[in-house]
Structure 1
Amino acid sequence: MAKILLLNAGSSSVKWKVFELTNEKMIAEGEVERINTPKAMITIKYNGEKIVNNEPDLGYEASVRLILKKIQELKIATLDEISTVGHRVVAGGRRFTKATKINAEVLEEIKNLKDFAPLHNPHEAHFIELMQKILPDVDQYAVFDSVFFTDMPEMNAIYSLPYEMSEKYGIRRYGEHGISHGYLSKRTAEILDRPLSELKIITLHLGSGASVAAIKNGKAFDSSMGFTPLPGLTMGTRSGDIDPSIVQFLMDKEGMSADDVMNLLNDKSGILGISGFSSDMRDIEARCAQNDERAALAREIFINRVVKYVGSYYTELGGIDAIVLAGGIGEHQIDLRADLLKELSILGIQVDAQKNQANQEGIISPDDAKVKTLLIPTNEELAMVQQIKKVL
């Protein structure tokens, strides 16, 4: 049976899943973490078992070869059964509006779009090249995170720059996590048993990377992320929204280059920068329990920024039918989720404590709540499979 291998590559990790192409059933999943470090490791979940192996000093190509080796050894799939490889690519700009078969021209354009996602596109392009080298006869497809936001209304997509400059350089709000936000909106309609085209929804993808999307009548209406994935919410290591004058200020005061400041905003800010010790909300929660003031501040700021965006989008949409929480933080941090939703009670958003504690997919608001609050584990990979199948 034909199978599809999906890769979600980053600078220090690569997540993968194998699906049966016809029935869209996931067979196995895993991740290689801490690539290029002495603590590199691979995790595999298959047949109800979880396998963890340490693989010190694993490089990028060795990581891909190890994934394929394990897939064969565990009889997840033979190489002949892998008919398609799908790659998550963050930035597609205005050029890519659907899943796209990768050839030399497409790959070059993905590389050229690095300005829109400097932390993502170069690594994703590198993994595409590795897979083309290792599996040269297998069709490869790119699925773009930005596609969901390509038809966002101009009033929300365009920055208040000289219009000619925006047009010349394609400067606009592209939004990211679009694969996730699109999946969440469709799943919400299924759970509520209502047409997506009639719903007004706010989706929260809350993880190390975090974003909020406003969705109206089944289409993206607004996004907290912008020209790149840097702005918006306070994230694991990203600052989120800041006054752009701070860039010049730090260059003058610290003798930093523009690249230095951008590295600071992308890799050393956010939850990590505020807390001073971790970008992981699980660590923050643990230190909050020990009355760590900076950890508490990081948690408070994270919640505050989400509340600001939700309040803005609620008004922009003229009220909402549902709000959805997803992502590593949204799906697993039960106490933080409850505190966040409590801050939104003025909007008629409520949470049932027992349903929230159960931590299962579905509606977690009281039955009579004006706004339906949902917990939905996001499934970007399934959405990728479905997008690829549309163009196969």
Structure 2
Amino acid sequence: MILTINCGSSSLKYQLHAPDLSHVIASGLIARIGEPEGTTDHWVGHRGEHHRRAIPDHRAAFALMMENLTNPEYDVIECPGAITAIGHRAVHGGAIFFGSVLVDDAVMAALRACATFAPLHNPCNIIGIEEAQRMFPGVPNVVVFDTAFHQTIPERAHAYALPYELTQKHGIRRYGFHGTSCRYVSRSAAELLNRPLDSLSMVVCHLGNGVTLDAVKGGQSIDTSIGFGTFGGVPMGTRSGDFDPAIIFHLVREAGLSLTEIEDICYTKSGLLGLSGLSNDMREVMAAADAGNDRCQLAIDVFVYQIRKTIGAYAAAMGGIDALVFTAGIGENSARVRAMICEDLGFLGISIDARANAIARGGHPNISAAGARVATLVVPTDEERMIAIDTAALTAAASARQPGQDLAFALAAQ
């Protein structure tokens, strides 16, 4: 059985997959790690449990995960030895990792070096791998990078117009994120359309609390909205999206803010929350806008406008578009946001059917209007399954290795 782990700063999300990856046997979310009262949710099929208890650190969270998985009431596994491989999500692989890799000492050292690029994410991902190695000694671990899918972006799209020597020395370039989601969704979209992935040009809109728009041509990422850090691109729940960097210097001089304070504003106080002054949750923002809150309406308008503008730019970058794909929390669940984004995109061949859009979450992925030149789809993302697929492939390759055979145990993003 394959265990997938997504370890955050205050949460641990896990899924246990059947050996053939045909289904998820059990899953769980342990949240508010390190707070006075944490929460645990564990599901086996349609059965689930929710508890509140203190979870002092990640070691305690991993122990709780194993307690849940070995609970005889659910009859999932008897002992840790039932786990044959473990797959981990890592946010940032820098320019080092072009695909998923089996974990060894060199990989861990490189992961730590990449932590400077994602200081809010990579350290937590590293903790998850270390705890898994401690709890499951001898079991192979695989790490799957959000940035790996975007390594195919050409230099003209990932280079910033700063002094070249400076960018090369400090690893400054567009890296992109949510790549695991975009990779899974683009493959699923091709299957739904019954067309070869390498024949399609599509824009994948991963719209959640974090937002990525990705131009995928021939199955490869050729441009992506989030850049060097994780707050660029279009506005997100609490993150700003792109803005004129002159604003930073203005805030230092005129508002007396420190760079640390500005960084915190960009990551945690901007986006939907900053514009609305109310919430980072699109549902709450929409409800308030409907009640007459002008700032909430502005937040929605800015969010939709920036996404629509980026779709147009990516269609131009690819020389046309065959499919527009929505995924993640907002993309999958908000028919209203999808309709607003697609409005006025008829010049690209994008047109959606209102009824199909309204029932898309019920298993009707194609929301295109009759006769539309571009297919518009709603495709649920499944990053955990993508991680499990890579983990199974890499561990199978490792077990098949002949003695002395020199193999680089890495799996390319495509």
1:79-118 alpha-carbon deviations (Å, 9 max, x no partner) = 1111111110010012112211222332222122122212
> What SS does structure 1 have at the residue aligned with 2:343?
helix
Residues of 2 paired with 1:371 and 1:364: CA distance? 11
1:209-254 alpha-carbon deviations (Å, 9 max, x no partner) = 1010001111111000111222101011110101112222222233
Q: What's the offset of the Cα at 1:155?
A: 0.8
> Counterpart in 1 of 2:400?
none
Structure 2, unaligned runs of 5 or more = 396-414
Q: What's the offset of the Cα at 1:324?
A: 0.2
> Counterpart in 2 of 1:370?
373
Call closer, same or farther: CA 1:386–1:9 in 2, change over 3 Å. Answer: same
Residues of 2 paired with 1:281 and 1:77: CA distance? 39
1:352-388 alpha-carbon deviations (Å, 9 max, x no partner) = 1111111225211123211000000011111111122
Residues of 1 paired with 2:371 and 2:76: CA distance? 46
Call closer, same or farther: CA 1:54–1:300 in 2, change over 3 Å. Answer: same
Deviation larger for 161-170 or 187-196: 161-170
Query: Between Structure 1 and Structure 2, how many residues are aligned?
Result: 390
> Counterpart in 2 of 1:75?
75
Residues of 2 paired with 1:130 and 1:326: CA distance? 31
Report the residue type matching 1:318 in the other structure. Answer: G
> Counterpart in 2 of 1:55?
53
Residues of 2 paired with 1:72 and 1:352: CA distance? 47
CA contact under 8 A between 1:98 and 1:387: conserved in structure 2?
no
> What SS does structure 2 have at the residue aligned with 1:11?
coil
Call closer, same or farther: CA 1:342–1:45 in 2, change over 3 Å. Answer: farther
Deviation larger for 183-192 or 56-65: 56-65
Deviation larger for 149-158 or 372-381: 149-158
> Counterpart in 2 of 1:390?
393
> Counterpart in 1 of 2:353?
352
> Counterpart in 2 of 1:215?
216
> What SS does structure 2 have at the residue aligned with 1:366?
coil
Is 1:185 aligned to residue 186 of structure 2? yes
Is 1:46 aligned to residue 49 of structure 2? no
What is the TM-score when the length of structure 2 is the normalising length? 0.90
Pairs within 5 Å for 1:313-352 = 313-352=314-353
Residues of 1 paired with 2:62 and 2:332: CA distance? 28
Call closer, same or farther: CA 1:305–1:206 in 2, change over 3 Å. Answer: same
Q: What's the offset of the Cα at 1:148?
A: 0.5
What is the TM-score when the length of structure 1 is the normalising length? 0.95
Pairs within 5 Å for 1:149-164 = 149-164=150-165
1:110-140 alpha-carbon deviations (Å, 9 max, x no partner) = 1221222122111111222222222233222
> What SS does structure 2 have at the residue aligned with 1:324?
strand
Q: CA RMSD in A?
A: 1.6
Pairs within 5 Å for 1:245-260 = 245-260=246-261
> Counterpart in 2 of 1:30?
28
> What SS does structure 2 have at the residue aligned with 1:335?
helix
Call closer, same or farther: CA 1:175–1:25 in 2, change over 3 Å. Answer: same
Pairs within 5 Å for 1:11-160 = 11-73=9-71, 74-78=74-78, 79-160=80-161
Call closer, same or farther: CA 1:344–1:13 in 2, change over 3 Å. Answer: farther
Residues of 2 paired with 1:343 and 1:8: CA distance? 38
> Counterpart in 1 of 2:4?
6
Residues of 1 paired with 2:249 and 2:66: CA distance? 46
- Give the % identical residues: 36
1:132-158 alpha-carbon deviations (Å, 9 max, x no partner) = 222233222110011111121111111
1:318-369 alpha-carbon deviations (Å, 9 max, x no partner) = 2100000001000111222222222433322111111111122521112321
Q: What's the offset of the Cα at 1:180?
A: 0.8
> What SS does structure 2 have at the residue aligned with 1:115?
coil
Call closer, same or farther: CA 1:13–1:286 in 2, change over 3 Å. Answer: farther
Residues of 1 paired with 2:294 and 2:304: CA distance? 15
Residues of 1 paired with 2:145 and 2:364: CA distance? 26
Call closer, same or farther: CA 1:391–1:39 in 2, change over 3 Å. Answer: same
Pairs within 5 Å for 1:280-319 = 280-319=281-320
Residues of 1 paired with 2:281 and 2:54: CA distance? 23
Residues of 1 paired with 2:119 and 2:54: CA distance? 27
1:297-328 alpha-carbon deviations (Å, 9 max, x no partner) = 11111111111110111111121000000010
CA contact under 8 A between 2:81 and 2:136: conserved in structure 1?
no
Residues of 2 paired with 1:252 and 1:57: CA distance? 43
Is 1:200 aligned to residue 198 of structure 2? no
Call closer, same or farther: CA 1:12–1:292 in 2, change over 3 Å. Answer: farther
Residues of 1 paired with 2:339 and 2:36: CA distance? 38
Deviation larger for 259-268 or 87-96: 259-268
Deviation larger for 247-256 or 361-370: 247-256
